[in-house]
Amino acid sequence: MDPAISGHAAALWVGLNLLLLLVLSGLVVRLRQKHKIALGDGGIPELARAIRTFGNATEYVPTGMAAIAVLAVVQAPAAAVHIIGLALFAGRMIHAVGLFNTGGASVPRALGIVLTWLGYLFAAVVLLLYAIA
């Protein structure tokens, strides 16, 4: 397999996830400026949700990006990288929309975490297969 193929796939998904983190961070900054809150959430529910949405993404995305990068290093099939990348990105995006809009339990939040966990699980299986092969 051409290592560039899985590397390009990894670059796509890592790049998209970085953009997602920038957008979520930008939402926090915008709301901080709007409400003139430098630290914490100031008791403003919209800002609290934005902070938590960004925080949740920063808890899951870096690990997923690391898995995607290692998949590229071991030259995993580009299809595997794309499936994992899509699951992570879509999961985090859907989860972010659900959390930002409601703050409570919601279908988008549940779907987002399930997709994220499926991406993690598939990545773990593929990486372990490469480790023992």
For 37-74, the pLDDT digits (tens) are: 999 999 999 999 999 999 999 999 999 999 999 999 99
Is the domain 3-132 a CATH 1.10.1740.110 member? no
- For residue 39, report the phi and psi dihedrals to the nearest 5 degrees: -145, 140
In which band, very low, low, confident or very high, does the pLDDT at 76 lie, cut at 50, 70 and 90?
A: very high
Residue 102: per-residue pLDDT: 87
Q: Tell me the residue type at 108.
A: P
Residue 108: per-residue pLDDT: 95
Predicted TM-score (pTM) of this structure: 0.91
DSSP letter string over the chain?
--HHHHHHHHHHHHHHHHHHHHHHHHHHHHHHHHHT-SSS-TT-HHHHHHHHHHHHHHHHHHHHHHHHHHHHHTT--HHHHHHHHHHHHHHHHHHHHHHHHHSS--HHHHHHHHHHHHHHHHHHHHHHHHHH-
Cα–Cα separations (whole angstroms), residue 74 to 15, 16, 18, 100: 19, 21, 22, 36
pLDDT at 4 exceeding the cut of 90: no
Model pLDDT for residues 89-122, shown as the tens digit of each residue: 999 999 999 999 887 889 999 999 999 999 999 9
Residue 73 near residue 126, CB atoms below 8 Å: no
Residue 126 near residue 75, CB atoms below 8 Å: no
